[in-house]
Amino acid sequence: MKLRILLAEEHAVVREALCCMIDLRQNMQIVGHAGSGKAALELAQELRPDVVVTGVAMRNMNGIEATRLIKEKLPDTKIVALSAYDNEEYVMGMIKAGVSAYLLKNCAFEELVKAIETVVQGKSYLSPDIATIVLRKQIDNQDDAPMAVLNERDKKVVRLLAEGKSARQIAREEGLSVKTIEGRRRKIMEKLNFTNMAQLIRYAIEEGYISTPIQR
């Protein structure tokens, strides 16, 4: 079965080129495309794609707000940010909103394909430059590393969350209720003194729970 992909990109030339390239992949198909964040949100709710590939700076509704609303309404849909911007505000905003991957537009097409295939496996993908920004931001904001010791059960939850899995997916995988997983997540965040997912991703990377691609 092909992965159903919705593409949100403000520039028509880029959008049309990416649609053609993605449709050429045997395991992927474009089910819709949008030129604004608002249109992307509406199409996502209608088409319920497996993956949304979206820009960040778009008219009507930016990628950050569109991502937040799509994840709120379709928590199992994975979102890949493909942006020309590597500034901290956009990167951290998209991560907090719920993207599973963030790439820059100067990446090779094969890296975008790899990111899409990675996120549908329930994992996260950050290009090397973006991973550096995430780590630097969290180090700047939190000089002291968390001293709390997590048990094996907590470590597994951290890994799954950092890989981009929703509480619903983790609950199904672990045979537990969504309420139980959400409770564990809340306790882990309190134990580590974290306030957002960006901090948890940074912690997971540093502890070796998830990996980032090696700079070529």
Looking at the structure of the chain, the number of domains it has is 2
pLDDT digits (tens, 9 = 90+) for 109-166: 999 999 999 999 988 899 888 888 887 766 665 555 544 567 788 888 988 988 888 8
For residue 110, tell me if it sits in a domain. Answer: yes
- Does residue 53 have a pLDDT over 80? yes
Q: What is the 3-state secondary structure (H, E, C) of the chain?
A: CCEEEEEECCCHHHHHHHHHHHHCCCCEEEEEEECCHHHHHHHHHHHCCCEEEECCCCCCCCHHHHHHHHHHHCCCCEEEEEECCCCHHHHHHHHHHCCCEEEECCCCHHHHHHHHHHHCCCCCEECHHHHHHHHHHHHHHCCCCCCCCCCHHHHHHHHHHHCCCCHHHHHHHHCCCHHHHHHHHHHHHHHHCCCCHHHHHHHHHHCCCCCCCCCC
**Same domain as 185, residue 152:** yes
Output the pLDDT for position 100: 93
Percent pLDDT > 70 in the chain is 91
**Same domain as 119, residue 54:** yes
Q: How confident is the model at residue 26 (pLDDT cuts 50, 70, 90)?
A: very high
Output the pLDDT for position 27: 95
Q: Which of 126, 150, 183 is the last residue of a domain?
A: 126
Q: What is the mean pLDDT of the chain?
A: 87
Mean pLDDT of 52-72: 92
**Same domain as 62, residue 8:** yes
Can you give the residue range of the structural domain that contains 165?
A: 139-206
pTM above threshold 0.95: no
For residue 169, tell me if it sits in a domain. Answer: yes
For residue 216, tell me if it sits in a domain. Answer: no
Output the pLDDT for position 147: 46
Q: Which of 126, 161, 176 is the last residue of a domain?
A: 126
Output the pLDDT for position 138: 65
- Does residue 213 have a pLDDT over 60? no
For residue 83, tell me if it sits in a domain. Answer: yes
Output the pLDDT for position 1: 86
Residue 32, domain CATH: 3.40.50.2300
pLDDT digits (tens, 9 = 90+) for 65-103: 999 999 999 999 999 999 998 888 889 889 888 999 999
Output the pLDDT for position 214: 37
**Same domain as 100, residue 38:** yes
